[in-house]
Amino acid sequence: MPKLVLVHWPERQSLEDFTEIARRIEARAGDIGVLIAENKEDNPEIVKKASLQSTLVVSMMEIRRFHIENATILQGNDLPKSVQYERYRAAGIPVPDWEVITPDTKLDPKDWGSYVIVKPDLARKAAGIVIKKTGRVRYTAPETYAEDHPGRNAPMIAQKFVYTGRWANHYRVTTLFGRTLFAVRCEADNSFRPLETRDGFAGAAGVGGAPVVSNKKSSHYTLSYDKEVIALGERAHSAFPEIPLLGHDIVRDADTGEMFVLESNTRGDVWLLSSGTGQSLQRTNNFDLYSQFDALEVATEALIAKVREICG
């Protein structure tokens, strides 16, 4: 009997979610046995049981301690943005033009537009992201950044600015093995000065002007049922088949209607159904991520399909 081991992160997913998914899998696919392991524990009994069968180990985030020899392990992996962009392009997924900023970098506004986004290659929660006039983008030596700036530890990237409307907005599509668990739209707080045009930033580097990052604490979130956005999110997962859980940030150009994937949370810290962050998000914005697309049912189907694919 093929085995599925779900690795549980107590601070990131509720145990009840995984228990319910396991119950549904075993009720629907009697040939699949499901075990739930704790990420920070060795779980010798689970290791012993799983090692006797063809086993798929699924961890939404990168495993710390738990390990099974001779098992197929699929887990989150915090990939640099440059790696993501290369893989998206190879998979035919639309991403805004970008390049790593080096001492030789000189961007032409004719090709890049009047403003570009400058962001760290490896960072979380929009840290270090700024808008700059294209002609002013210059290489900065890592050691000259502030101690807490992510540019000290990874290169900086210039990315073509996508104008999403008067207030910055984006979509987050969260997929498990390419199937959508939930999707939301995030828009910056409308109390900020609106950006009337893509070139309408006030002051150098947009200081005092409209925000370009929409996922702030004051931002407004709504459930999204946009079929085109969701389809792009599901396609985007194909660039990372080895990563179970992904959160794709997608934007639509307000003038042209073109859609782009800005980046993905490949770390897997996006089980917003029951994480503390996710529960707060749902309470504040008065919606339920479980019921939007029946997330636990989607997860059940996705995991059954993946066990069949890997274990036969």
Question: What pLDDT, on a 0 to 100 scale, did the predictor assign at position 302?
Answer: 98
Q: Which CATH number fits domain 3-76+295-311: 3.40.50, 1.10.530, 3.10.450, 3.40.1010?
A: 3.40.50
Q: How many CB atoms lie within 10 A of CB 300?
A: 21
What is the CA 230 to chain-centroid distance, rounded?
Answer: 13
Residue 280: which residues within 8 A CB-CB, separation 6 or more?
none
Q: What is the pLDDT of residue 40?
A: 75
pLDDT score, position 205: 39
Instruction: To the nearest 10°, report the CA torsion of 10, 84, 212, 96.
Output: -150
Which residue ranges make up each domain of the chain? Answer: 3-76+295-311, 81-267
pLDDT at residue 251, as a whole number: 98
Q: Using an 8 Å Cβ cutoff, are 152 and 142 in contact?
A: yes
Tell me how far apart the alpha carbons of residues 223 and 220 are, in angstroms, rounded to a whole number. Answer: 10
Q: Please state which of the four CATH numbers 3.40.309.10, 1.10.150.170, 3.50.50.100, 3.30.470.20 is assigned to the domain occupying 81-267.
A: 3.30.470.20
Structure-token match 């639509």, residue found = 252
How confident is the model at residue 126, as a pLDDT? 67
And the tokens for 65?
A: 């301690």
Are the C-beta atoms of 122 and 155 separated by less than 8 Å? no
Digit-by-digit pLDDT tens for the chain (312 residues) are 679 999 999 889 999 999 999 999 999 998 999 999 988 777 777 777 777 678 999 999 998 877 777 789 999 999 999 999 999 999 999 999 999 999 999 999 999 999 999 999 987 766 788 899 999 999 999 899 888 888 888 899 999 999 999 999 999 999 999 999 999 999 988 888 889 888 888 543 344 445 566 566 678 999 999 999 999 999 999 999 999 999 999 999 999 999 999 999 999 999 999 999 999 999 999 999 999 999 999 999 999 999 999 997
Residue 113 has what pLDDT? Answer: 93
pTM: 0.92
